[in-house]
Structure 1
Amino acid sequence: MKLYIAAASLLAATPLAAAAPIEGRWVTEEKDAVIQIADCGRSTCGRIAKFLVPPPQGADQRDVNNKDKALRSRKLLGMPVLTGFAEEADLWRGMIYDPKSGKTYRSIIRRKGANSLEVKGCIGPFCQTQVWSRAS
């Protein structure tokens, strides 16, 4: 019994693992864009920094698929696609916007080593996962 209490005390005193930083430039799984993830005041966000594959209307492509008609004229280049991310234990939680569908999803991001991110977009309990790699 003493061993159990000592082990429980040790676990209670151990801090939770901190999430590995996600800041930096990341190439999407489709290898069509570079996303710059950085501090955005009270949260962490990610913007489209560069197109690796030009969208249909070129570098001046607008957010034509957005469900909000008022946002359809904004340029994709420089637009935030990751918003409101906050550190939670060993991961980051926020929202991810898909300009191809015009939809926003709940998102979870985890570092998977120095050069990769696991990025999930979720609807309810169902998530789709991508792996982004560090841009060189």
Structure 2
Amino acid sequence: MKKIIAFTAGLICASGVFAQMTPEGLWRNIDDKTGQPKAEIRISANGAGVLSGVVEKSLVTGGEPNCSQCTDDRKDKPKVGLEIIRGAKKAEGKDVWEDGKILDPDNGKNYTLRMEPLEDGKKLQVRGYIGPFYRTQIWLRVQ
């Protein structure tokens, strides 16, 4: 009986570690120019495992509160509550999510997306591509 309890406890502890190697959760992104926290984004999966991300909280004061530069269905919508990640899927056999899009609500541009958890899921490498050009950010998991 003690072996079963110990085994079960080990599985529960291990599942917590594995659960962190996903982009799902709450993340704080960092401004490229200032190095300061900019927003908190909640990434979640739909029933088919496709990820989306919504700005849950702005961490900067001032600035344009709406996505005035957006050209799609998000045009002039408030940045808080805005879906900035759409359609990301897990790459087969890797801890990488790609094939989605990420929106920069400050300039209205959509980028092809690639996300990879780092440091046991404490950080998330977020890379947006337009053709051969890309921009990379490291987001921090909010505990």
Shorter-normalised TM-score: what interval?
A: 0.7 to 0.9
- Separation in 1, partners of 2:23, 2:74: 27
Contact 2:22–2:95, Cα closer than 8 Å, also in 1:
no
Divergent runs of 4+, >4 A: none
TM-score by length of 2: 0.72
Identify which of 113, 120, 132 aligns with 1:125.
132
Residue in 1 aligned with 2:90?
Answer: 87
Change (3 A) 1:28 1:97: same
**The structure with more radius of gyration:** 1
Structure 1 unmatched runs, 5+: 1-19
Change (3 A) 1:80 1:41: farther
Residue in 2 aligned with 1:39?
Answer: 45
Question: Aligned to 2:30, what secondary structure does the other structure show?
Answer: coil
Q: Cα distance, 1:124 vs. partner?
A: 1.4
- Separation in 1, partners of 2:74, 2:127: 24
- Identity across matched positions, percent: 30
- Separation in 2, partners of 1:27, 1:122: 20
Residue in 2 aligned with 1:4?
Answer: none
Task: State how many pairs are aligned.
Answer: 113
TM-score by length of 1: 0.76
- Separation in 2, partners of 1:55, 1:36: 22
Residue in 2 aligned with 1:16?
Answer: none
Q: Cα distance, 1:39 vs. partner?
A: 1.2
Structure 2 unmatched runs, 5+: 1-20, 32-36
Query: What pairs up with 1:1-136 in 2 under 5 angstroms?
Result: 20-30=21-31, 31-42=37-48, 43-57=50-64, 61-68=65-72, 71-88=74-91, 89-93=94-98, 94-113=100-119, 114-136=121-143
Aligned-residue CA RMSD (Å): 1.5
- Separation in 1, partners of 2:115, 2:29: 13
Change (3 A) 1:50 1:130: same
